[in-house]
Amino acid sequence: MATFRRGAADTDRPGTVPAPRTSAPARRAALLAGVALLGVLTACGTENGGAGTPQKLPGTAEPASGDRTTDAGSNPTASPTGSAAPTGSGTTSGSASASSGSGSTGTRCHTSELRASVGNNDPGAGQENFPVVLTNGSGRTCTLRGYPGAAFVDASGKQLGPDPRRSSGTPTTVTLAPGQSAWSGLTFSNPEISGAGTATPASLLVTPPDEKDSLKVTWTQGKVPVSGNASSVSLTVVQAGTGA
């Protein structure tokens, strides 16, 4: 009995405050409040740039400009026949260098840098043969490669006859220094021999290889075939020189 009474007395010492007992509902409420507070603090940290796993959004980023153009270094040999552009005329002499490689020195000659002219006829075996000459009128060295485009037109600009066909040939890169020229052969059967339908063009539109704009050359060589038998006109690949 003495032992029990002494232990009881120890718990009732003056100045000692016994710990309050917390009920089970109170403890559960405190735990839920702590979890809620932790969630609030985590959300605030994310909004303010806190460390965490970044979100991965679906989709692929595109350039702001939307520009998807490919490398401009491609060099097709075809050229469409474009509409009339600045007029060029007159035969210009000069020589140029050519290479059979796929590369080129400098950059392509643009329509605005060139002058066009038609040389003298060199007939033979019932064929009419004209050199179509392109001369570098710019102050830089540039290149031509492939087939030009061409079309006969009347005074109103209406095309006469079909587009010329391409004669067989291997394109080479022709390098033109300022003042130098390259030429393509324009050939058709003599209409008086072939019996083809004819017309007399006012101009020949010449489109440099790989360009869209054309140069207008006054046509002074008389009638050309535009329909019927043997009415086709052909063009060769450009080559160095004037074709004279």
Burial 34-72 (b: 16+ CB within 10 A, else e): eeeeeeeeeeeeeeeeeeeeeeeeeeeeeeeeeeeeeee
DSSP 74-96: ---S--------SB--S------
**C-beta neighbour count of 122 within 10 angstroms:** 14
The encoded tokens of residue 121 equal 């006829």
- pTM of the full structure: 0.59
Per-residue pLDDT tens digits for 172-195:
999 999 999 999 999 999 998 998
Residue 73 is predicted with a pLDDT of: 37
Higher pLDDT, 125 or 216: 216
Average pLDDT over residues 187-206: 94
Q: Compute the mean pLDDT over every residue in the chain, rounded to the nearest whole number.
A: 72
**Quick one: which H or E segment has residue 11?**
helix 2-11
Spatial separation of the C-alpha atoms in residues 203 and 156, rounded to whole Å: 10
Other residues' Cβ atoms within 10 Å of the Cβ of residue 195: 13
Q: How far apart are CA 164 and CA 204, in angstroms?
A: 12
- Report how far residue 165's alpha carbon sits from residue 169's, in angstroms, rounded to the nearest whole number: 12
The answer to whether 202 and 154 have CB atoms below 8 angstroms apart is yes
CB 215 within 8 A of CB 116: yes
Out of 101-105, 124-128, 211-215, least confident range: 101-105
**Within 10 Å of residue 102's Cβ, how many Cβ atoms?**
10
Q: What is the pLDDT of residues 44-98, one digit of tens each?
A: 444 443 333 333 333 322 222 222 333 333 333 333 333 333 333 333 334 455 5
Better pLDDT: 7 or 59: 7
**DSSP track, 83-132:** ---SB--S------EEE-SS--SSEEPPGGGEEEEE-----BTTEEEEEE
